[in-house]
Amino acid sequence: MPIEVLPGASRFRTTGAGRDTRHSFSFGMHYDPHNVGFGALLVHNDDRLDPDAGYPDHPHANTEILTWVISGALHHRDDLGHDGVLEAGGIQVLSAGSGVVHTEYADGAPTRFVQSWIRPDDFDQPPSYAQSSVTDEYTCVASSYGAALRLHTRGASCHVATLGSGESIELPDSPRLHVFAATGAVAVGERLLETGDAARLVHEGGRRVHADADSTRLLIWALP
């Protein structure tokens, strides 16, 4: 199917300890053998944290982890020596490489963030961390070529956009696209994505999508 829409209400959900997470793919206790990823995209979580709630020290390896803070602020600390707060609108990429341990906590306020994990091309590379802020413009925020944040997956790129009602953008020209409506609503073909909904598109690169509400914020993955 060229376009598959996944309503936010149908996603796996994990709650507890001030955390509420919806998963686009199999994650933790939730397993569906027919839904373990989409191309190189392995995880796409929509997290909501109570003030000061979060995730204590935990390890990652051989994964590119991109985090976009929608609201609130996220305190990140890792054993590479990075310790700071990512405000709303900020994006970070943690290339776990050969191994890294980090923590993530809401910094004193309710916080919502979207986190994606993608598979790198080469394993056991030195880990690294970088962050950037984004504007409301439609822009590529992370890629294997030329963006502010680097991904170690050739041909993969991540884009964000904020649209007003009636505005439209052209999706990247890529074999696979994952479109997530973080806020607002967007028409993808004849289907409407509302807050928390996602669409997976195959061989639909270059399609135009149209916002159906003000302050529509999209996270778009273009995948090889």
CA distances (Å), origin 82, targets 86, 127, 131, 201: 12, 12, 11, 36
CB-based burial of residue 145 (10 Å sphere; 0-12 exposed, 13-18 middle, 19+ buried)? Answer: exposed
What amino acid occupies position 200? R
- Domain boundaries along the sequence of the chain: 3-223
Confidence of residue 135 (pLDDT cuts 50, 70, 90): confident
pTM: 0.96
Q: What is the DSSP letter of 125?
A: P
Summarize pLDDT for 115-127 with one digit per residue, the tens: 999 999 999 999 9
Summarize pLDDT for 74-106 with one digit per residue, the tens: 999 999 999 999 999 999 999 999 999 999 999
CA distances (Å), origin 126, targets 61, 69, 102: 10, 25, 15
pLDDT at 1 over 70: no
- Which of 29-38, 57-66, 96-105, 152-161 bottoms out in mean pLDDT, i.e. has the lowest? 29-38
Domain 3-223: CATH superfamily is Jelly Rolls (2.60.120.10)
